[in-house]
Structure 1
């Protein structure tokens, strides 16, 4: 029998549980961290199942987390592309509380890095010498 999809409140509760387990969001993949992550997922599944009244395996919740991360990254990429578009109007991207929380949990791995200096966004006319090279 296939498990039913998680509701919005259940997703937000899952994110609460994940945020309490800092090891889940660490990038380290050594044997020690992998074991800690496995134990954290078991703990999350147990607490989640108790709250939801429906048994969820750690693998199911971990897959949901992976899918939420993909969706958040995709949404943030779409928002960045939309902000860079010129002309033709902007696309409306509705707010999503769960994906916004995932984005904040992932930080720069989801939102991208900002470059304070450099890039081709700003040109300083004072640096041009008029030779056509710069």
Structure 2
């Protein structure tokens, strides 16, 4: 039987479950965490099966694809913001991608650099670019 595409409600359910089971988003790959992750994925499959009426075989793949989409989207936004001119960029809001961004935090948003290359700390004027404070 071919697995059907997940709808918006199923995706939000998946993200809610992953958010509550933060072991899935941990970077640790030791034996203990891997076993915990496997148990959580099995639990998710059981809950999802009860909710959706069928057992989706692609939950992990969907999670991986959502993470890739969020990273790609945020990279595009950062690259666009580094350009000069070209007006404003508009990206349609997506609740699921917003939730994934929140769960992944710095791994998809990038890191804030506190110092310039010469080691001097940035001040407010250089951050906002107006030079008035």
TM-score w.r.t. structure 1 length? 0.83
Superposition pairs for residues 118-129 of structure 1, below 5 Å? 118=116, 122=126
Distance 2:34 2:62 in 1: 18
Superposition pairs for residues 1-134 of structure 1, below 5 Å? 1-57=1-57, 60-118=58-116, 122=126
Q: Which runs of 5+ in 2 are unaligned?
A: 127-133
What is the aligned length?
A: 121
1:119 CA displacement: 5.3
Q: Which whole-Å deviations, capped at 9, do the CAs of 1:18-61 have from their partners, x for residues lacking one?
A: 1111110000001111111000000011111111112123xx11
C-alpha RMSD of the superposition? 1.9
Radius of gyration: which is bigger? Answer: 1
Q: Which runs of 5+ in 1 are unaligned?
A: 123-134
TM-score w.r.t. structure 2 length? 0.84
